Amino acid sequence: MIYIIGAGAIGKALTVFLKNAGKEVILIRGSVDDGTVHTGNIRVEMPSGVVHEAEIKIASLSAFDSLQGMVVLANKSYGNENLAITLRPKIGTSPVVLLQNGLGVERPFMTAGFEQVYRCVLFVTSQSISEDTIRFKPVAVCPVGIEKGNASILKRIVQELNTPQFEFRSEENIQPVIWKKAIVNSVFNSVCPLLDTDNGIFHRNVAALEIARKVIAECVAVAAFNGVMLTSLEVEESLLKISKLSDGQLISTYQDILAKRRTEIDTLNFELVRVAGNVNVFNTKLLGELVRLKADMSGGII
């Protein structure tokens, strides 16, 4: 059994693909826990115009005394501390797979003593069109690596989750991938909401790219301070690739601000600031503060 926690755009899309691939899968709402279980039809629209849909079992955590199988987290990362407390008595030795970008999102599960913790770096865009319709676009195969666990279970995780629509692969050294994507996301999730624009802005607009370069330079230095060696050029190349492939898509933080939801900026810009040591991160911090202010002014929850 695969339990997907987080009934947002990523969780819903993955659940549909897995269900249609013949997997046993249950979608668990991360923010609502009323003990109910029901079914609902979910549609996923692809860039090609193809629509995938499935009747999905949707539940809340309190409906289960234990979660035996694989637990995939597609919830917002700011809920991880409470989720780790709730999951610990239910999960036993079941592996936890985090489908969350950002830095330090695995920390609550490591601290709580979970036996199997794996990190996935997402290279997809997914946007809710309505309560039961998702617009999904794959950008690249999503790597999964070990935070705590072993290679044989990692291999099984990838085999179980992989579908033609949402592809996964195993990654022996996941930390550089995590850092590179976190830096890229700190750019997208701050600049795009502040400019009220989509992901394609960086390959379309030189001035926006220059702002991105300032943030990238700061964050590459932070990565080096933390023992992860990246170059500004490789991060910029990744940023531009994602910008081109997701042109027209709205980044998750901008979607959250528009919907007056809490953002995940704490595990992006502010986590990079937290681990910066003596590295100057003025631009990264300022953009994060402006996003936080914009979210607050929009009526969302900080």
In this structure, the answer to whether residues 158 and 232 fall within a common structural domain is no
Residue 302 lies in a domain: no
In this structure, the answer to whether residues 179 and 293 fall within a common structural domain is yes
Domain-ending residue, one of 170, 202, 228: 170
Residue 21 lies in a domain: yes
Rg (CA), the chain: 18
- How many domains does one find in the chain? 2
Residue 100 lies in a domain: yes
Residue 29 lies in a domain: yes
- pLDDT tens-digit series, residues 87-100: 999 998 899 999 99
Helix (H) or strand (E) holding 29: strand 25-29
Average pLDDT, the chain: 94
CA separation for the pair 163, 126 (Å, rounded): 16
Q: Are 51 and 59 in contact (CB under 8 A)?
A: no
pLDDT at 173 > cutoff 90: yes
- pLDDT tens-digit series, residues 241-282: 999 988 998 998 999 999 898 898 998 999 999 999 999 999
In this structure, the answer to whether residues 7 and 146 fall within a common structural domain is yes
In this structure, the answer to whether residues 124 and 192 fall within a common structural domain is no
CATH code of 218's domain: 1.10.1040.10
Residue 251 DSSP one-character state: P
Q: How far is CA 210 from CA 62, 168, 202, 283, in A?
A: 48, 32, 9, 12
Q: How far is CA 201 from CA 43, 145, 185, in A?
A: 28, 30, 14
In this structure, the answer to whether residues 22 and 149 fall within a common structural domain is yes
